[in-house]
Amino acid sequence: MNEMTTIAKTTTLKDWETDQEVRWCPGCGDYAILKAVQRTMPEIGTAPENTVFISGIGCSSRFPYYMETYGFHTIHGRAPAFATGLKLANPNLDIWIVTGDGDGLSIGGNHTMHLIRRNLDCQIMLFNNEIYGLTKGQYSPTSRVGTTSPSTPYGSVDRPAQPAAFALGAGARFVARGFDVSKELPNVLKAAHAHKGAAFIEIFQNCIVYNKDVFEDFAAPKGAEDRQLWLKSDEPMLFAKGTKGIALDVDALNLKVVDVVDGDWQAAGVIVHDVTNRSVAHMLVEMRFGEFPMALGVLYDDPRPTFEADVWRQNKAAAEGKTADLQSLLKKGQTWTVTEGGPEL
Q: Which residues bind another protein (CB under 8 A)?
A: 6, 18, 20, 47-50, 52, 54, 57, 64-65, 67-76, 78, 80-90, 92-93, 110-111, 113-114, 311, 314-316, 318-319, 322-324, 326-327, 329-340, 342-345
In the complex, what is the shortest distance from the CB of residue 325 to another protein, in angstroms, rounded to a whole number? 9
In the complex, what is the shortest distance from the CB of residue 88 to another protein, in angstroms, rounded to a whole number? 6
In the complex, what is the shortest distance from the CB of residue 264 to another protein, in angstroms, rounded to a whole number? 50
Let me know: does 121 contact 93? Beta carbons within 8 Å. no
CA distances from 263 to 124, 130, 224, 226 (A): 37, 37, 19, 16
- Kindly tell me which of 115 and 164 has the beta carbon lying closer to another protein: 115
- Kindly tell me which of 114 and 256 has the beta carbon lying closer to another protein: 114
In the complex, what is the shortest distance from the CB of residue 90 to another protein, in angstroms, rounded to a whole number? 5
- Kindly tell me which of 108 and 297 has the beta carbon lying closer to another protein: 108
152: number of Cβ within 10 Å: 15
CA 142 – CA 19 distance, rounded (Å) = 33
> Strand 294-301 to strand 174-179: parallel, antiparallel, or no bridges (unpaired)?
antiparallel
**Which residue, 115, 107, 96, is CA-closest to 167?**
115
Let me know: does 2 contact 121? Beta carbons within 8 Å. yes
In the complex, what is the shortest distance from the CB of residue 256 to another protein, in angstroms, rounded to a whole number? 38
> Strand 51-55 to strand 94-100: parallel, antiparallel, or no bridges (unpaired)?
parallel
- Kindly tell me which of 54 and 192 has the beta carbon lying closer to another protein: 54
In the complex, what is the shortest distance from the CB of residue 174 to another protein, in angstroms, rounded to a whole number? 20
CA 269 – CA 249 distance, rounded (Å) = 10
CA distances from 140 to 101, 182, 221 (A): 7, 23, 26
CA 2 – CA 112 distance, rounded (Å) = 22
- Kindly tell me which of 81 and 207 has the beta carbon lying closer to another protein: 81
In the complex, what is the shortest distance from the CB of residue 315 to another protein, in angstroms, rounded to a whole number? 5
- Kindly tell me which of 15 and 226 has the beta carbon lying closer to another protein: 15
Let me know: does 173 contact 198? Beta carbons within 8 Å. yes
- Kindly tell me which of 111 and 195 has the beta carbon lying closer to another protein: 111
